């Protein structure tokens, strides 16, 4: 019956995060370190990220149909569970804030310089806010639809980029020769972001009842491809030096591609279209997860149902309202440099948070097992 | 009130006369044979005179006495003794004859059914394939279906809906294929109908589906028996409504509205091609006008320079902004469509010619509308008619205005926003617990799949 | 339950309607700048002549008339010039379709950095723009309207982008590529040279630049060889002489590869391998073709090309420029990141070139 989805939706959550990885703050952070340790952190991030993902998937499979709030409240004392949930929600929410604000900025730069920024951001917030209130299952279906439209286009664009005669493989080779420089924590954290899609499972696990992790090799291959394209793609088009000079390297690289036989001539608009839908979907997913985590603190149980109680609905509206307000306030208050700093803070704290999350889950799993035996 | 004689015939007759004051199609006959006397009252318009003559009047004189006569009438399965006067009247309104003896009131069913004969389908045409469509009589429709689905698993359950209309419904399903939870849900919703009159299939839809405020249909009306049978064989539930030439098919998902019976009749690759064409048409009809607005007013740099210059050139004389131009022309097209639906068939083509060709040409000549706009509006109109179900194409006709509004506010961004909103909206809809829009919609039939979970 | 959602939606719609209108400017109220030209001015060293070519859309596409307007403005900065041009035209300037930026020769010999930087920085100008050197001036090139032009300002772009004509003499380059090479260590930018001839444009030379100014303009013959080294599948014809008779070959596929070899003696070597295949188009010899004869002809072509290419590479080497990116390749194949560029700078001036050409003549049309 309804409320249960198949395993493939886990891969979609991963895929969404991985493809977002091509344009968000991650390539920027990695390209900053392209001469010192950027490549190395990619290499190192693959075992670390894949390991975290695998561990998480194994752990969450022990709690079928349960979200993080249920797991924490059943195994930890309330005074510990509540702040943990709120911190997790805040970190996850801030990633969507960065996505939304930077995409508004991209829109302002490349598509609609004439329209007021707050209006565009307002439009984003309305769609994201309304959609984040839907039940988890519907969001997953929407995600599936969008991915099936977007991923072929992403593959096409990547192929076009790599086969372009103006793609300078010599620049890429030059960066590869910098592989042996030691990586920094920050770049490592950024590079592991590609795997982070699994964190959404802390809420979406509620609709997975027989979750099992298979084909991790597929995920690893995807991540390698994504990381390579996100870092080396801009270098091939913008050069080893030039890649560091652009605010949004992926967009600048895509502006270097031309479609000869189509009514649209510049690839950047296709790219923009694809990434706007993906960014919106990503923000919807993040808001949904954060909202559910916070609602868990207030003691509403389970995933939202169409006939949910009134109190819960009111709480949802409040949370979404506060979320929207924070985005608007932040977008008014900060500039692009602060945005990048924010992204770095997010990436760093997220990386550390992943270990905390997995540690907590191990504890919870052990405790649950003992209780079952007793 | 509870007596052996459930109704007092004298009082009931008097009550009935009071109720029927001013009703002129009532027929009342007093039959006398010796000392015995009965009253027969019925609606002329609702009852079959041949049946009344044969079974009621002739028999009365043939049979020996009244008790025997009453026994004879009771032997008919549809005859009954009403408990209350209101019941009596309601049954009479449905075509029953009221028989008043000295101490009893009996109702005899002599309903006159005026059925239109089976007509070829008019709204869901196919190129090659069966042509029958449902009639307005539920029994005939059941016959049409049973004829095509000869299996004892095809169950039919009778219900009535509507306080005043008492419309008969038949729920049809194959009990080996149907999802029981959905069946329960359907029955619950049907018995929850509270409106007085149910006249058409859409009344059923309106009063059973949540949320009430929807843009897209979640129940399918089909006038084709073969589609109904196909859907039953897919595990869906068909509801036949009396007095409507449609069956209601539930649960219907988005994809069902883009399936024509042609797809099954043609060879599979052609069927896929046809379906792909319909989805492309869906995208074009929804997005083309909005894109025109976005490209001419916000983002002319997106198109090739040649196209931009062409649009700019043809718009040079147009005195108002692009969204006004689009809405103006689309409204003209909507008027034309509406007008040609209502017009008699003989004048229809004239209206189309006058409206479409002359108005379009004149408007461009006058410089009020750009050439490209005319091409676009006709493309939108044609693509809209590609969608096989009028219920769906109505929803889509409306939604393109939403997109125009978004495009004239946000430009291209608005279109993308609208698309994301539309997708999430559609995926959030449920029809009887089934997701309305989903990739690979067909896998919902594979229940009990081990991996689903 | 759902009613609250709809109330919110209706409110939002009202909100959207109120806001509608800002930023809304129809296409017929915009004037598309299709190309920009920059020249030096006589008024002073800081003042430049900026020319803007704008396409004027025609109402009737069948009439075939093409109208464009070129406005020239002298100013100290391009931003200032645009502001001044805006007051000369009745519509909003739109740079979204600007496809070419031309630098007058004398300007390009000074420095193109500031304008190039401006085009990359400005958000509505695409990175897919075609840069070029204009002779005699950018203004003169922009003002030319070839009779074959069907869309205003399009002829130049069609030629330079190779969407229309495909000529072995045209070096295609984009703004992003120029920008990359201007910054990259070990690769120098190039631009095509556009000259006027009556009322047609001629693009048959390439300008080699150091990081910001034009240093050397190759002649058409060398330009063709340069293109053959830079890109694949140049469709051109090659000529050689054998026994005093002219042979013409039509090249259909070409591919140039090179390898940098560190000599142990401190002198490096760049080994070029060029593969050509094509058909024999013209021969003046009377006798019938045989396989041995064909091999000899192929050999003749190879030697001729090898000689020419070596000469061109030497010529480029003498200027100290590196348009083919040897330096970047050297850096990309060496892992001593701190010292590799110094090594290269020592190596390049005396590096040796060996060019190996393999020609393959596939068929010689119908005649034997």
Are C64 and C210 within one domain? yes
Q: Where are the alpha helices (DSSP H) in A298-335?
A: 310-333
Whether C192 is in a domain gets the answer yes
- Under 8 Å CB-to-CB from C291, ≥6 apart: which residues? none
Cβ-Cβ contacts under 8 Å, C124 against chain B: 301
Could you tell me which chain B residue has the CA closest to the CA of C10? B402
Q: Using alpha carbons only, give the angle A58, A62, A68 rounded to the nearest 5 degrees.
A: 95
Chains with 3+ CB–CB pairs under 8 A to B are A, C
Mutate to test the interface with B, among A3, A6, A106, A112 (most CBs of B within 10 A): A112
pLDDT at residue A3, rounded to an integer: 54
Strand partners, B29: B40
**B positions 315-344 inside 8 Å of C (CB):** 315-318, 321-322
Alpha-carbon distances of C190 from A167, A284, C162, C179, rounded to whole Å: 16, 46, 17, 11
> pLDDT tens-digit profile of A157-202?
999 888 888 898 989 998 888 888 888 888 888 888 888 888 888 8
Parallel, antiparallel or unpaired: strands C352-361 and C269-283: parallel
Domain edges within chain B: 9-109, 138-252, 264-435
- Under 8 Å CB-to-CB from C196, ≥6 apart: which residues? C135, C136, C140, C141, C144, C202
C35 vs B352: CA distance, rounded Å: 46
Number of residue pairs across B and C with CB atoms under 8 Å? 82
Is the four-CA dihedral B191, B192, B194, B197 of positive or negative sign? negative
CB B311: neighbour CB atoms within 10 A?
24
Alpha-carbon distances of C270 from B154, C5, C329, rounded to whole Å: 83, 70, 11
pLDDT at residue C190, rounded to an integer: 92
> pLDDT tens-digit profile of C325-351?
888 888 888 888 888 888 888 888 888
Classified as helix, coil or strand, B3 is coil
Asked whether the predicted pLDDT for residue A352 surpasses 70, the reply is yes
Give the helix/strand (H/E) hosting B406: helix B390-410
The answer to whether the Cβ–Cβ distance between B305 and C154 falls below 8 Å is yes
CATH 1.20.272, domain A8-373, yes or no: no
Contact between residue B370 and residue B314 where contact means Cβ atoms under 8 Å apart: yes
Are C61 and C184 within one domain? yes
> pLDDT tens-digit profile of C272-286?
999 988 888 766 666
Whether C38 is in a domain gets the answer yes
Are C260 and C180 within one domain? no
A115 vs C19: CA distance, rounded Å: 10
Q: Where are the alpha helices (DSSP H) in chain C?
A: 2-19, 78-86, 105-108, 113-121, 138-143, 154-161, 175-183, 220-230, 291-319, 326-332, 340-347
What is the number of H-type helices and E-type strands within chain A?
15, 0
Rounded CA Rg of chain A:
21
Whether C82 is in a domain gets the answer yes
Burial of B304 (0-12, 13-18, 19+ CB in 10 A): middle
Q: Using alpha carbons only, give the angle A78, A81, A86 rounded to the nearest 5 degrees.
A: 125
Mutate to test the interface with C, among B304, B308, B322, B401 (most CBs of C within 10 A): B308
Whether C302 is in a domain gets the answer yes
Q: Identify the residue with better confidence: B452 or C119.
A: C119
DSSP string, B37-67: EEEEEEETTTB-HHHIIIIIIIHHHHSSSHH
Strand partners, C272: C258, C355
Taking the Cβ of residue B296 and every Cβ of chain C, the question of whether any pair is shorter than 8 Å is answered with yes
C186 vs C173: CA distance, rounded Å: 18
Last residue of a domain, one of C159, C186, C217: C217
Are C277 and C347 within one domain? yes
Could you tell me which chain C residue has the CA closest to the CA of A268? C126
What is the number of H-type helices and E-type strands within chain B?
18, 11
Whether C148 is in a domain gets the answer yes
Asked whether the predicted pLDDT for residue A22 surpasses 70, the reply is yes
Are C265 and C192 within one domain? no
**pTM of the model as a whole:** 0.85
The answer to whether the Cβ–Cβ distance between C97 and B301 falls below 8 Å is yes
B101 vs A108: CA distance, rounded Å: 88
Could you tell me which chain B residue has the CA closest to the CA of A268? B302
Cβ-Cβ contacts under 8 Å, B425 against chain C: none
Are C202 and C287 within one domain? no
CA dihedral A127, A129, A130, A134 (to 10 degrees): 120
What is the number of H-type helices and E-type strands within chain C?
11, 13
Asked whether the predicted pLDDT for residue A288 surpasses 90, the reply is yes
Residue with tokens 């508004």: A104
Q: Which of B412, B423, B430 is opposite residue A111, by nearest beta carbon?
A: B412
> pLDDT tens-digit profile of A226-250?
988 888 889 999 888 888 888 888 8
Q: Which domain holds residue C316?
A: 219-368
B388 vs B260: CA distance, rounded Å: 6
Strand partners, B248: B221, B239
Asked whether the predicted pLDDT for residue C36 surpasses 70, the reply is yes
Are C264 and C339 within one domain? yes
pLDDT at residue B2, rounded to an integer: 42
Alpha-carbon distances of B172 from A121, B100, B147, B240, rounded to whole Å: 50, 38, 14, 8
Contact between residue C305 and residue C241 where contact means Cβ atoms under 8 Å apart: no
Classified as helix, coil or strand, A18 is helix
Give the domain CATH number at C290: 3.30.300.210
Per-residue pLDDT tens listing for chain B (453 residues):
344 446 788 888 888 888 887 777 888 888 888 778 888 888 887 788 888 888 888 888 888 788 888 888 888 887 888 888 888 888 888 788 888 888 888 888 887 776 667 778 777 777 777 888 888 888 888 888 888 888 788 888 888 887 777 788 888 888 888 888 888 888 888 887 777 777 776 777 777 666 666 778 888 888 888 888 888 888 889 988 888 888 888 888 888 888 888 787 888 888 889 888 999 999 999 999 999 998 888 888 888 888 888 888 888 888 888 888 888 888 888 888 888 777 777 777 777 777 777 877 888 888 888 888 888 888 888 888 888 887 888 888 888 999 998 888 888 889 999 999 999 988 888 888 788 888 775 544 443 333 332
What is the percentage of chain C residues whose pLDDT exceeds 90? Answer: 11
CA dihedral B89, B90, B91, B97 (to 10 degrees): 30
Alpha-carbon distances of B66 from B36, B92, B396, C307, C344, rounded to whole Å: 7, 22, 64, 128, 125
Contact between residue A6 and residue B447 where contact means Cβ atoms under 8 Å apart: no
Asked whether the predicted pLDDT for residue A286 surpasses 90, the reply is yes
Could you tell me which chain C residue has the CA closest to the CA of B210? C2
**Residue B437 main-chain phi, psi, to 5 deg:** -125, 125
Chains with 3+ CB–CB pairs under 8 A to C are A, B
> pLDDT tens-digit profile of B277-333?
999 999 999 999 999 998 888 888 888 888 888 888 888 888 888 888 888 888 888
The average pLDDT across A55-77 equals 86
**B positions 89-148 inside 8 Å of C (CB):** none
pLDDT at residue B450, rounded to an integer: 33
Q: What total number of domains does chain C contain?
A: 2
The average pLDDT across C175-189 equals 88
Interface list for chain C against chain B, based on CB atoms closer than 8 Å: 2, 6, 13, 16-17, 19-20, 23-28, 30, 32, 34, 55, 57-61, 94, 96-97, 99, 124, 126, 151-152, 154, 157
Contact between residue B43 and residue B111 where contact means Cβ atoms under 8 Å apart: no
pLDDT at residue B22, rounded to an integer: 77
Whether C3 is in a domain gets the answer no
Domain edges within chain A: 8-373
Asked whether the predicted pLDDT for residue A285 surpasses 90, the reply is yes
- Under 8 Å CB-to-CB from A341, ≥6 apart: which residues? none
Are C210 and C224 within one domain? no
pLDDT at residue C2, rounded to an integer: 47
Are C196 and C261 within one domain? no
Least confident of A41-55, C20-34, C65-79: C20-34
Strand partners, B181: none
Nearest chain C Cα distance for residue B402, angstroms: 10
Q: Where are the alpha helices (DSSP H) in A21-77?
A: 25-32, 38-60, 68-75
Rounded CA Rg of chain B:
29
pLDDT at residue A284, rounded to an integer: 94
Mutate to test the interface with C, among B293, B294, B301, B401 (most CBs of C within 10 A): B301
Q: Can you state the angle between helices C291-319 and C220-230, rounded to 10 degrees?
A: 100
Mutate to test the interface with B, among A123, A149, A213 (most CBs of B within 10 A): A123
A300 falls in which pLDDT band (50, 70, 90)? low
Q: Where are the alpha helices (DSSP H) in C20-132?
A: 78-86, 105-108, 113-121
Could you tell me which chain C residue has the CA closest to the CA of B296? C27
Q: Which of B316, B322, B406 is opposite residue C57, by nearest beta carbon?
A: B316
The answer to whether the Cβ–Cβ distance between A239 and C183 falls below 8 Å is yes
> pLDDT tens-digit profile of C237-249?
888 877 777 888 8
pLDDT at residue B86, rounded to an integer: 80
């Amino acid at each position: 019956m309804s409320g249960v989805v198949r395993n493939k939706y886990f891969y979609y959550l991963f895929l969404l995060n991985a493809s977002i990885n091509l344009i968000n703050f991650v390539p920027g952070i990695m390209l900053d370190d392209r001469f010192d340790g950027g490549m190395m952190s990619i290499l190192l991030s693959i075992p670390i990220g894949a390991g975290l993902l695998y561990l998480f998937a194994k752990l969450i499979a022990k709690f079928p149909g349960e979200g993080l709030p249920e797991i924490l409240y059943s195994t930890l004392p309330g005074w510990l569970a509540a702040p943990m949930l709120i911190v997790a929600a805040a970190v996850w929410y801030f990633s969507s804030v960065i996505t939304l604000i930077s995409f508004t900025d991209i829109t302002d730069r490349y598509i609609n310089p004439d329209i007021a920024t707050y209006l565009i951001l307002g439009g984003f917030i309305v769609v994201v806010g309304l959609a984040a209130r839907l039940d988890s299952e519907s969001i997953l279906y929407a995600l599936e639809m969008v991915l099936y439209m977007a991923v072929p286009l992403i593959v096409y664009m990547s192929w076009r980029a790599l086969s372009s005669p103006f793609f300078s493989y010599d620049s890429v080779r030059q960066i590869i020769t910098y592989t042996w420089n030691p990586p920094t924590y920050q770049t490592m954290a950024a590079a592991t972001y590609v795997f982070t899609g699994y964190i959404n499972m802390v809420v979406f696990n509620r609709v997975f009842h027989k979750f099992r992790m298979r084909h991790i090799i597929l995920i690893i291959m995807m991540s390698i491809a994504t990381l390579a394209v996100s870092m080396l793609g801009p270098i091939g088009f913008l050069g080893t030096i030039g890649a560091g000079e652009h605010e949004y390297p992926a967009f600048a690289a895509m502006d270097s591609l031309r479609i000869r036989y189509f009514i649209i001539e510049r690839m950047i608009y296709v790219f923009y279209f694809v990434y706007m839908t993906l960014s919106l979907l990503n923000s919807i997913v993040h808001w949904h997860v954060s909202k559910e985590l916070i609602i868990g603190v207030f003691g509403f149980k389970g995933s939202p149902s169409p006939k949910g109680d009134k109190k819960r609905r009111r709480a949802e509206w409040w949370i979404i309202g506060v979320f929207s307000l924070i985005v608007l306030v932040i977008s008014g208050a900060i500039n692009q440099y602060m945005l990048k700093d924010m992204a770095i803070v997010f990436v760093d704290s997220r990386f550390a948070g992943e270990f905390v999350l997995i540690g907590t889950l191990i504890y919870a799993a052990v405790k649950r097992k003992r209780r079952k035996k007793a | 009130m509870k007596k052996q004689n459930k109704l007092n015939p004298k009082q009931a007759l008097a009550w009935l006369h009071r109720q029927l004051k001013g009703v002129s199609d009532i027929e009342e006959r007093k039959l006398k044979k010796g000392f015995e006397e009965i009253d027969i009252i019925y609606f002329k318009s609702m009852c079959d005179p041949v049946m009344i003559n044969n079974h009621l009047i002739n028999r009365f004189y043939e049979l020996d006495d009244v008790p025997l006569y009453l026994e004879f009438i009771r032997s008919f399965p549809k005859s009954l003794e009403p408990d209350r006067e209101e019941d009596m009247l309601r049954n009479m309104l449905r075509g029953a004859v009221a028989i008043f003896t000295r101490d009893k009131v009996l109702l005899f069913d002599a309903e006159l059914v005026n059925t239109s004969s089976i007509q070829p389908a008019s709204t869901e045409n196919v190129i090659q394939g069966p042509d029958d469509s449902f009639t307005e009589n539920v029994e005939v429709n059941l016959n049409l279906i049973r004829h095509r689905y000869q299996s004892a698993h095809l169950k039919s359950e009778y219900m009535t809906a509507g306080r005043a209309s008492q419309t008969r419904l038949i729920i049809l399903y194959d009990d080996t294929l149907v999802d029981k939870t959905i069946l329960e849900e359907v029955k619950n919703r049907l018995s929850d109908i509270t409106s007085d009159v149910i006249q058409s299939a859409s009344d059923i839809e309106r009063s059973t589906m949540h949320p009430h405020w929807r843009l897209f249909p979640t129940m399918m009306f089909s006038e084709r028996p073969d589609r109904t049978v196909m859907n039953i064989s897919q595990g869906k539930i068909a509801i036949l409504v009396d007095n409507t030439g449609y069956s209601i098919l539930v649960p219907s998902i988005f994809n069902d509205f883009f399936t024509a019976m042609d797809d099954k009749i043609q060879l599979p690759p052609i069927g896929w091609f046809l379906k792909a064409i319909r989805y492309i048409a869906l995208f074009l009809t929804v997005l083309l006008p909005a894109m025109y607005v976005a490209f001419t007013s916000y983002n002319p740099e997106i198109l090739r320079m040649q196209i931009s210059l062409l649009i700019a050139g043809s718009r040079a004389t147009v005195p108002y902004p692009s969204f006004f131009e689009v809405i103006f022309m689309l409204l003209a097209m909507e008027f034309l469509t509406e007008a040609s639906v209502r017009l008699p068939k003989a004048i229809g083509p004239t209206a189309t010619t006058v409206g479409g060709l002359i108005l379009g040409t004149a408007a461009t000549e006058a410089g009020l509308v750009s050439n490209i706009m005319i091409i676009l509006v006709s493309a939108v109109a044609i693509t809209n008619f590609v969608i096989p179900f009028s219920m769906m194409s109505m929803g889509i006709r409306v939604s393109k205005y939403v997109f125009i509004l978004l495009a004239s506010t946000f430009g291209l961004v608005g279109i993308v926003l609208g698309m994301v909103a539309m997708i999430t909206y559609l995926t959030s809809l449920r029809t009887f617990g089934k997701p309305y829009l989903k990739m690979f919609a067909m896998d919902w039939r594979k229940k009990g799949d081990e991996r689903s979970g | 339950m759902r009613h609250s959602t709809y109330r919110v939606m209706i409110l939002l719609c009202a909100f959207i309607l109120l806001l509608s209108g800002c930023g809304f400017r129809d296409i017929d109220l915009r004037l598309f700048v299709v190309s920009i030209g920059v020249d030096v001015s006589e008024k002073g060293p800081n003042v430049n002549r900026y020319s803007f070519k704008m396409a004027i859309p025609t109402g009737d596409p069948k009439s075939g008339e093409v109208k464009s307007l070129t406005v020239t403005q002298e100013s100290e900065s391009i931003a200032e010039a645009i502001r001044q041009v805006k007051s000369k035209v009745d519509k909003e300037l739109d740079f979204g379709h600007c496809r070419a930026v031309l630098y007058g020769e004398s300007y390009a010999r000074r420095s193109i950095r500031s304008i190039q930087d401006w085009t990359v920085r400005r958000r509505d100008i695409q990175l897919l723009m075609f840069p070029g050197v204009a002779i005699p001036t950018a203004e003169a090139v922009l003002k030319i309207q070839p009779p074959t032009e069907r869309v205003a300002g399009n002829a130049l772009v069609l030629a330079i982008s190779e969407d229309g004509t495909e000529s072995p003499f045209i070096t295609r380059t984009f703004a992003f590529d120029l920008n990359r090479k201007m910054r990259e260590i070990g690769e120098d930018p190039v631009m095509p040279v556009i000259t006027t001839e009556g009322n047609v444009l001629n693009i048959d030379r390439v300008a080699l630049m150091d990081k910001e100014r034009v240093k050397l303009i190759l002649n058409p013959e060398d330009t063709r060889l340069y293109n053959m080294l830079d890109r694949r599948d140049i469709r051109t014809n090659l000529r050689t002489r054998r026994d005093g008779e002219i042979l013409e070959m039509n090249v259909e596929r070409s591919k140039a590869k090179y390898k940098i070899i560190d000599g142990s003696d401190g002198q490096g070597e760049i080994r070029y391998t060029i593969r050509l295949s094509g058909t024999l188009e013209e021969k003046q010899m009377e006798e019938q073709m045989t396989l041995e004869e064909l091999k000899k002809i192929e050999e003749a072509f190879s030697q001729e090309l090898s000689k020419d290419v070596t000469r061109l590479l030497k010529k480029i080497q003498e200027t100290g420029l590196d348009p083919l990116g040897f330096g970047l390749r050297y850096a990309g194949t060496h892992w001593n990141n701190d010292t590799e560029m110094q090594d290269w700078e020592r190596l390049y001036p005396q590096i040796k070139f060996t060019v190996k050409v393999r020609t393959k003549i596939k068929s010689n049309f119908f005649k034997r």
